[in-house]
Structure 1
Amino acid sequence: MGTQEPTFTGWLGHNPASTKGNMKWETFTPKPFTDDDIEIKISHCGICGSDLHTLRSGWGKSLYPVCVGHEIVGRAVRVGKKAGERRGVKVGDRVGVGAQNGSCLKADCDDCSEGMENYCRKATGTYNSKYPDGSKSYGGYATHHRATSNFVFKIPDALSSADAAPMLCGGVTVYSPLRQNECGPGKKVGIVGVGGLGHFGVLFAKALGADRVVGISRSATKKEDVLKLGADAYIATSEDKNWSRVHSRTLDLIVCTVSSPDMPIEKYLHLLRRGGKFIQVGAPEDKLPALGAFALIGKGCSIGGSNIGSPAEIQEMLEFAAEKGIKPWIQEVPMKDANKAIVDMEAGKARYRIVLVNEEGARL
């Protein structure tokens, strides 16, 4: 007898009004299972800002119906032969999946061959995307997830599933640019936007050994939290007088997690020292603000971007977080309350990452 296909059920968004709490609990058909796949019974799934952008078609028309969620942790319940050999995963192992579920993996692809699969032009997103066979990808607000093995990660024993889940996108989105830009002793680092991504930025920058970490946000409402997370200082851009001049040329690196088209980017650049770098990771639905050329020319600073993280960086980050005891600030919410959770996320109530808990999967 062949293996019986499980029923996949999850929260499906059918239109942009889904962000108002209108997702529906329905069945869906996952990608066909192959020898290179791992099937996961989901226990936890973090809520990411990308979920909201996708549910409302903020980055372009979504492939409705969509099941979002790309911070997935659970137990492997089915492992293809090639998948087991490639990843060392067996049935029963605790594993996770981030924002990417496939890439071309071809030798002539500069990105894949150099271990930077997250930049592959033929990448498949964990949800709202298409696999090479034309089947659609569905995310983790669900009972199960089926994933290509190259993008499945073993969760270290020292990390709880609830803590590990938001690291798989939110965590690595800031960990990658911090590592790529040599955050560590001797560096002074600013984190713009102290929410789900930004709070990870503070945690990781401190754990990587930066000399000074500065949280930067509009108001002072999060100042106490940010200092508790380990930041050395805090700048409230709407309240601190002449903040860009007072703190001019004090930072080597800024990682910006803000997804706003009206952020004061030119003033952020004032904070950089000569040769400093400003790395954008937040993805607004509109264009970034304009800036004058002399904001860059005047001190030889540069602007760059970073896209999630490579598979190697994700595994490194998980092991680093386990070693250093990184503990994100999360709120656990039952999977059945996903509609309310995304409404709360949209309203800015998360402190600082909401994690959905599938109680049946969590018992495994």
Structure 2
Amino acid sequence: MTTDYKFEGWMGLDSQAANGNMVWQEFEPKPWEETDVDIKVTHCGICGSDLHTLRSGWGPTMYPCCVGHELVGVAVRIGSQAEGDIKIGDRVGVGAQNESCFGRNGDCEACASGLEQYCPNVMVGTYNSVHTNGGKSYGGYALYHRSPSRFVIKIPDGISSAHAAPMLCGGITTYSPLRHHGCGPGKSVGIIGIGGLGHYGIMFAKALGADRVVAISRKANKKEDALKLGADAYIATDEDADWAKNNSRSLDMIISTVSSSKMPIIDYMTLLKLNGAFVQLGNPEDGALTIPAGVLIYKRIKFTGSMIGSPSEIREMLELAAEKGVQSWVQECPMKDANQAIQDMDAGKARYRFVLTNEQ
């Protein structure tokens, strides 16, 4: 089994990296364990979390940092104790999490329930984290990636690598709460924010069988795209003064992908039916979300959040995507152009997910 390859990638050295100043250089992956898999990266999606991390938007980043947690590639080294029946040459991927406390001196309640993303003991991100063996995690804007096998996902034959990569974070971040809150026949679902996450929200709500999916954005410029993605209706909040009144009590659940504390959250709540659920996915840098208690009390509304998904949820999502023909809307960019791609992502130019491709 050859290991004569180098781990090299785009490294953020300080908060200016998000402005297109990442530097290509070699890095030292986590020390090898026999439960690990090495992956030759072919594709890596660009996620909003990458930008938040590169600029230390969610707190101080452990520079140098190689971001990218929507990576797909080929397994080139497999430990003798690896899980998942992975073989050399298999097409595999890794999402936003690399390790939890599962299997380490007794599992926590979350891990034992197959919800490793909520592990309170060991939540190791695919980048900008430290593994239990002391090694630092580095992401997929790179040639190779090393991951504990539990978090390595085999990619179904029915999905291309470019389409699968952004599903590993962007896709599962919307699929998991839709599934958890009962999206299916008889349900009406609103998706706030038609972007990298929101376009998945529309497609997976329809794939899960929702009767009605409503896309919600500030402007009308994404209406055509939203309808092509499968939305049944579209609300442009800046262009209809009566949007909240006209759509009152029409939705069973709302998935909010917006990362802003300035959203009209009270108006959004009026769209929910009795016992409706508002699920927040975006994590604003610009302040806290606040809501009067009465807004929740008078309709018994659930105001909640959700974070990525577990390995089992990701596998389930990919199988559904293959079965239902769910295809990411992606724009592929050469890995060498990653600095320009992250700037274009920050400028809102993605329709709706940029995917970096290694040309080697």
Short-chain TM bin: over 0.9
User: Mind listing any 5+ residue stretches in structure 2 that lack a counterpart?
Assistant: none
State the secondary structure of the residue aligned to 2:29.
coil
User: Mind listing any 5+ residue stretches in structure 1 that lack a counterpart?
Assistant: none
The match for 2:53 is: 54
The match for 1:77 is: 76
Deviations along 1:50-85, one digit per CA (max 9) or x if unpaired, are 0000000000000000000000000000000111xx
Are the equivalent residues in 2 in contact too, given 1:277–1:303 (CA < 8 A)? yes
- The amino acid across from 2:84 in the alignment is R
* Residue 306 of structure 2 is aligned to residue 301 of structure 1: no
- The amino acid across from 2:226 in the alignment is V
The match for 2:108 is: 109
Q: Which runs of 4+ in 1 moved over 3 A?
A: 2-5
Q: Distance in 2 between matches of 1:272 and 1:35?
A: 49
Q: Distance in 1 between matches of 2:10 and 2:210?
A: 40
The match for 2:130 is: 130
Q: Distance in 1 between matches of 2:326 and 2:359?
A: 24
- The number of aligned residues is 357
Q: CA deviation at 1:302?
A: 1.2
Q: CA deviation at 1:134?
A: 1.7
Deviations along 1:251-294, one digit per CA (max 9) or x if unpaired, are 00001100011111111111000000000111111333322111
- The amino acid across from 2:354 in the alignment is I
- Residues 1-364 of structure 1: pairs in structure 2 closer than 5 A: 4-83=3-82, 86-105=83-102, 106=104, 107-121=106-120, 122-360=122-360
Identity %: 62
Deviations along 1:3-40, one digit per CA (max 9) or x if unpaired, are 64521110000111111110001000001111100000
Are the equivalent residues in 2 in contact too, given 1:275–1:302 (CA < 8 A)? yes
Are the equivalent residues in 2 in contact too, given 1:262–1:288 (CA < 8 A)? no
Q: Distance in 1 between matches of 2:303 and 2:287?
A: 15
**Range with bigger deviation, 113-122 or 37-46:** 113-122
- The amino acid across from 2:31 in the alignment is P
Q: Distance in 1 between matches of 2:204 and 2:170?
A: 12
Q: Distance in 2 between matches of 1:234 and 1:4?
A: 52
Q: Distance in 2 between matches of 1:79 and 1:286?
A: 42
Deviations along 1:191-235, one digit per CA (max 9) or x if unpaired, are 000100000000000111101000001111111110111100001
Q: Distance in 2 between matches of 1:245 and 1:309?
A: 34
Q: Distance in 2 between matches of 1:3 and 1:320?
A: 35
**Range with bigger deviation, 268-277 or 233-242:** 233-242
**Range with bigger deviation, 203-212 or 107-116:** 107-116
Q: CA deviation at 1:135?
A: 1.2
State the secondary structure of the residue aligned to 2:328.
coil
Q: Distance in 2 between matches of 1:286 and 1:3?
A: 47
State the secondary structure of the residue aligned to 1:184.
coil
- The amino acid across from 1:99 in the alignment is A
Q: CA deviation at 1:108?
A: 4.1
Q: Distance in 1 between matches of 2:25 and 2:86?
A: 29
Q: Distance in 2 between matches of 1:274 and 1:124?
A: 38
Are the equivalent residues in 2 in contact too, given 1:40–1:77 (CA < 8 A)? yes
**Range with bigger deviation, 298-307 or 281-290:** 281-290
State the secondary structure of the residue aligned to 1:90.
coil
State the secondary structure of the residue aligned to 1:44.
strand
Deviations along 1:288-310, one digit per CA (max 9) or x if unpaired, are 33221111111111101111011
- The amino acid across from 2:115 in the alignment is M
Are the equivalent residues in 2 in contact too, given 1:278–1:304 (CA < 8 A)? yes
TM-score (norm 1): 0.97
Q: Distance in 2 between matches of 1:301 and 1:212?
A: 19
TM-score (norm 2): 0.98
Are the equivalent residues in 2 in contact too, given 1:280–1:305 (CA < 8 A)? yes
Q: Distance in 1 between matches of 2:92 and 2:310?
A: 16
Q: Distance in 2 between matches of 1:161 and 1:4?
A: 23
Q: CA deviation at 1:114?
A: 1.1
